[in-house]
Amino acid sequence: MTTRWLSEKEQRAWRAYIAATHLLEDAIDRQLQQDAGMPHLYYSILANLSEAPEGRLRMTDLAERAKITRSRLTYAVTRLEKDGLIRREDCQWDKRSSFAMLTDEGMAVLERTAPGHVETVRSLLFDQLTPEQVEQLEEIFSGLAQTLERDEERPTPEDVPWRRRSSGPCS
């Protein structure tokens, strides 16, 4: 099979995407580390909990929502628990499961730091976009998220029979 290389335009789009996503994530991490003492992922975990009924979720569900592996979550929750922002609770009706639950202190940290986080996201991202672009962004990424999520479910569906190229590596 001959490779379908990226067009000029696609390459530009891809590079811009890589650069911007990395820079944005770095900037957000820095801000949150500064103001909340935790990286973005950990903040997201708290945020996810804060929106769940009773401020708690089973580990698996939380991992699912945060788009991370269970083991990564275990580590993160352990740290947040040490910090007193989360408490573990075991599930009554399924002895295997355990809940992660936001503590009052966790909620307080979230409330204290949310404005700064939102301001960062807004100033770095949304303030830079026109209303139409916000629309486009949502359209594009919600579509992508959906198909990527579907892909996620089947672990390596088919084989991977590619080889030999004749153009650039695309980064």
Kindly list the residues in this chain that would bind DNA in the complex (CB under 7 A). 26, 29-30, 33, 38-39, 41-42, 58-61, 68-79, 88, 91, 94-99
CB of 104 to its own copies, least distance (A): 15
Structure tokens at 52: 């769940």
Stretch that binds its own copies, among 55-63, 75-83, 87-95, 118-126 (CB under 8 A): 118-126
Q: How far apart are CA 137 and CA 130, in angstroms?
A: 10
Structure tokens at 20: 């911007």
Q: Closer CB to its own copies, residue 92 or residue 142?
A: 142
Structure tokens at 39: 């990286």
Phi, psi (rounded to 5 degrees) for 92: -70, -45
Q: How far apart are CA 120 and CA 114, in angstroms?
A: 10
Among 89, 90, 104, 135, binds its own copies (CB under 8 A): 135
89 binds, among its own copies, DNA, none (CB under 5 to 8 A by kind): none
